[in-house]
Chain A
Amino acid sequence: MIWLIRRFGGLVGMVAVVAFFAINLPQTFLTLQNWLNISQQVSMLAVVAATMTVVMVMGDFDLSVGSMASLSGVVVATLFLQGWPIPAAVAAALAVGLIGGLFNGIVVSIVGILPFVATLATLTIFSGLAFLISDGRTIFGRDIPAAFGDFARGGPPIGAVEDRIIVLPNLVIVAAVVVLLIWVVLEQTSYGRRLYAIGGNSEAARLAGVAVRPLRLTAFAFTGVGSALAGLMYASRVASANPTQGDGLMLTAIAAVFLGMTLTRDGQPRVLATLAGVLVLGVLDNGLTQMRVDSYVREVLVGSIILAAVGLSALGRRGIAWR
């Protein structure tokens, strides 16, 4: 019985959240359109959280993802200002993400600074660069090519309701591809299994021939590129870029990974579990907004729910530790 609660408590909690909104919002919540909305709203978060899972598998963190997302949005918009074509600008922004991620990796694995400290520092650096490049302003309007903004609004049609065509948003497709890719990397390749081994016992892994340093270094490239991609998705969705628009992603992404960890059998980060965590956060946000819960109250509620879920899971695993 206790075992059942431990194993499936998190899942039951998630179903309860969905059921709660389905009952309280009978007309709107369980509709296809609403779920497409939710999936589009969480697509950026899903990309960042999936790549965050890659470093958290090793027991590390990347706090710089939010400011990297802002930076990549600002970079792509600035390049548009200078007349770059869309593919080149997008590629350049992703390259910035790759370089930033590798830089994080070098600082963490070669220099040996704790990830918390190292990425806190690069968070500030990336954020400062975003302000420098954009001169602190929001870039929008005619400077952004229409095709770039249209991408987020478009998508392949999947049906029609009362003359309105319903599309599967492109952003959702991008997020799904990223999650699938990370799933393959983490679960189906020797690279991913070695990352899990580092998280399990890094000294044992080293002595068993795992090249810990290069692996840690490259794993941070995933968060770099992932957050740059999320920044582009965001910029496309709002057809503008400002140097702070990605900042909220970091804490929510880490929260999503932790929520996901409460679902896995061994408490490990797993990318599909992370996806479930992302969806829960998305559903909470969407449902509470529809119920017109004040946005400040919403933050208090979401924070409390994260604390309760992760806390209960920790208690279930090892009991209360008073001393």
Chain B
Amino acid sequence: MTQLTLHQISRRFGAVQALGDVSLTIGSGEVHALMGENGAGKSTLIRILAGLDRPDTGRIEIDGTELALGSPTAVRQAGLRFIHQELHAVRGLSIAENMHLDHPYPLRFGLVNWRALHGAAAAALARLGLERLDPSHPMTDLGPGDQMLVRIAATLIGGGDRPPWLYVMDEPTAALTNAESERLFDVIHGLVGQGAGVLYVSHRMPEVLRLSRRVTVLRDGRKVSTRPISETGQQRIIEEMTGRDVGNLFPDRRTAGSGPIVLKAEGLSARGLRSANFEVRAGQILGVAGVAGSGRGALLRAIGGGVAITSGRVSVDGTKVGSSPSRAWRQGISYVPRERRSEGLLLGRAITENVTLPHLSALTRARLFLNKRRQRRLTEEIGRSVRLKAASVSQSCAELSGGNQQKVLFARALAGNPKVLLLDEPTRGVDIGARSEIYRLIRRLSDDGLAIVMASSDLPELIGLSDRIAVMRDGRLAETLEAEGLTEAALLARFYHLEEEEGVA
């Protein structure tokens, strides 16, 4: 039996201890689950294991032989393979060619030997019971589930390296349907039966309970426990994942505003969102919770006009909102997107430009000519109120920290005096200091009478800030819970639609 051992791995980013003294053993022939909330250190650990990042201290051994750190090549030669949730299929190439992207093509007289290429691909697919896939078909004909299986099969194609024996799978089922996930589980069973080990990272509790032999829980960069599945369970894992002292990161709870209904959604559906009904009053914060892919972000995008609404309606103060971002902004819905860099900022441009972008029409003379002084004044004013720290409002956003970039987006959202504020993961990649400032800001805005909808994967944040929490399951807004008195464990259990009594007794 082969064993991979991590010895006291530590990694620090600035003031944040991403990993502290994490030790872990994974053996061949077992599925070992790695669990933890966002920011617990799972991704850092995987990056270090893959050789993409170096730990500050600690070492990795395989059967007593030390593995070179920070070298993807060494990791590969040691027989480790990484399966990520994002799929990178090359369009226009066949399944067999996609499988050979990091292997040399078989040649004959210096030209590609297509028969050998397809043969090798077919043999690898057959080892996973995937004979139904024809290696000569285009990769893009396959769904995401089959593409993932093909990627796993590709690791079985022979080469000079040691044959793969340990697979690290990072949220492999995030983009898969149930049926596709089942096929993946069959393949995982097959791999383990052939003597391979799997380090399985997932948020999805039922999968973990079903597949794994041991479970390791990380919290705030430290290992909480490693237990055989027989000695732990749903409830215990959730407690271990969430048992964090939130301290006074959040402002004190208050009684929710009971102003008039501002935002209302009726039978709303769009791409990634099957149905949602809810209303938010002035001065209220509605949290939106659920696992990745449950429709959390899609709900916000549909309200903000980022994706077209296929049926149902959104109204603000009783008026129907048009389904495009520009109409949503005009009708008082402002949106802070999840992906700060790709969906939010004009990164290389000045803060003023970023803040005023949705409000340019209001900042003009004769509805056309820009009033630059007014733009600067507005930006400075709003910048102060969100406590933006920058050299000047003409500084480029690329030079700001994550927290300050986020504040630029808040400033943009607030500059037009909106009625509704949509926040998608408002503290993603934001350090703890700026985080608490952002929480206070959100609360202050709510006290000023804004209706706020906040989607987040951070449970303490949802419970600490929201008045009510809408739980999304499979694209539906399944239920709405009062946030007061809710525990993280109880909320997480609602994600999986499990009764709270289960396992508590």
Q: Do A and B bind each other?
A: yes
Report which A residues bind B (CB closer than 8 A).
184, 188-191, 193-194, 196-197, 200-201, 203-211, 266
Which one of A201, A203, A206, A266 has the highest number of Cβ atoms from chain B below 10 Å of its Cβ?
Answer: A201
B140 interfacial by beta-carbon distance below 8 Å: no
Given A204-B344, A208-B412, A209-B330, 4 further pairs, Cβ under 8 A: A190-B363, A191-B368, A193-B357, A211-B326
Residue in contact with B348 in the complex, picked from A194, A200, A203, CB distance below 8 Å: A200
| Cα A209 to Cα B364 with chains together (Å) | 16
What are 10 A-B interface contacts by the 8 Å CB criterion? A184-B369, A193-B353, A194-B357, A196-B349, A196-B353, A200-B349, A201-B345, A206-B325, A209-B325, A211-B326
Determine how close the nearest CB of chain A comes to the CB of B425; give it in whole angstroms.
14
CB–CB B326/A209 < 8 A: yes
CB–CB A266/B342 < 8 A: no
| Cα A284 to Cα B349 with chains together (Å) | 33
| Cα A200 to Cα B368 with chains together (Å) | 21
Tell me which residues across on chain B come within 8 A of A188, comparing CB atoms. 369-370
CB–CB A207/B370 < 8 A: no
B304 interfacial by beta-carbon distance below 8 Å: yes
Given contacts A200-B349, A204-B344, contact A210 B326 (CB under 8 A): yes
| Cα A189 to Cα B365 with chains together (Å) | 9
| Cα A190 to Cα B372 with chains together (Å) | 10
Cβ-closest 9 pairs across A and B: A200-B346, A209-B329, A190-B360, A209-B358, A209-B326, A208-B358, A208-B357, A209-B325, A201-B346
Residue in contact with A204 in the complex, picked from B324, B329, B343, B368, CB distance below 8 Å: B343
Tell me which residues across on chain B come within 8 A of A200, comparing CB atoms. 346-349, 353
Contacting A at CB under 8 A, from B393-409, are 396
Determine how close the nearest CB of chain A comes to the CB of B395; give it in whole angstroms.
12
B154 interfacial by beta-carbon distance below 8 Å: no
| Cα A320 to Cα B78 with chains together (Å) | 33
CB–CB A207/B346 < 8 A: no
| Cα A200 to Cα B397 with chains together (Å) | 12
Given contacts A189-B368, A196-B353, contact A204 B345 (CB under 8 A): yes
The chain A residue sitting closest to B306, CB to CB, is A207
Tell me which residues across on chain B come within 8 A of A194, comparing CB atoms. 357, 360
Tell me which residues across on chain B come within 8 A of A205, comparing CB atoms. 346, 357
| Cα A197 to Cα B358 with chains together (Å) | 10
Determine how close the nearest CB of chain A comes to the CB of B504; give it in whole angstroms.
42
Contacting A at CB under 8 A, from B335-363, are 335, 337, 342-349, 353, 357-358, 360-361, 363
Tell me which residues across on chain B come within 8 A of A203, comparing CB atoms. 342-343
CB–CB B328/A209 < 8 A: yes
The chain A residue sitting closest to B355, CB to CB, is A208
CB–CB B369/A208 < 8 A: no
| Cα A184 to Cα B364 with chains together (Å) | 13
The chain A residue sitting closest to B360, CB to CB, is A190
CB–CB A266/B370 < 8 A: no
Residue in contact with A189 in the complex, picked from B346, B348, B370, CB distance below 8 Å: B370
Tell me which residues across on chain B come within 8 A of A204, comparing CB atoms. 337, 342-346
CB–CB A207/B325 < 8 A: yes
| Cα A33 to Cα B364 with chains together (Å) | 42
Determine how close the nearest CB of chain A comes to the CB of B421; give it in whole angstroms.
14
CB–CB B347/A201 < 8 A: yes
CB–CB A189/B343 < 8 A: no
| Cα A211 to Cα B328 with chains together (Å) | 12
| Cα A200 to Cα B347 with chains together (Å) | 7
| Cα A211 to Cα B330 with chains together (Å) | 12
CB–CB B344/A266 < 8 A: no
| Cα A194 to Cα B361 with chains together (Å) | 10
Which one of A189, A201, A208 has the highest number of Cβ atoms from chain B below 10 Å of its Cβ?
Answer: A208
CB–CB A197/B330 < 8 A: no
Tell me which residues across on chain B come within 8 A of A184, comparing CB atoms. 369
Determine how close the nearest CB of chain B comes to the CB of A3; give it in whole angstroms.
14
Residue in contact with A190 in the complex, picked from B335, B343, B370, CB distance below 8 Å: B370
CB–CB B306/A197 < 8 A: no
| Cα A265 to Cα B452 with chains together (Å) | 39
The chain B residue sitting closest to A268, CB to CB, is B348
| Cα A209 to Cα B335 with chains together (Å) | 10
| Cα A203 to Cα B412 with chains together (Å) | 16
Determine how close the nearest CB of chain A comes to the CB of B355; give it in whole angstroms.
10
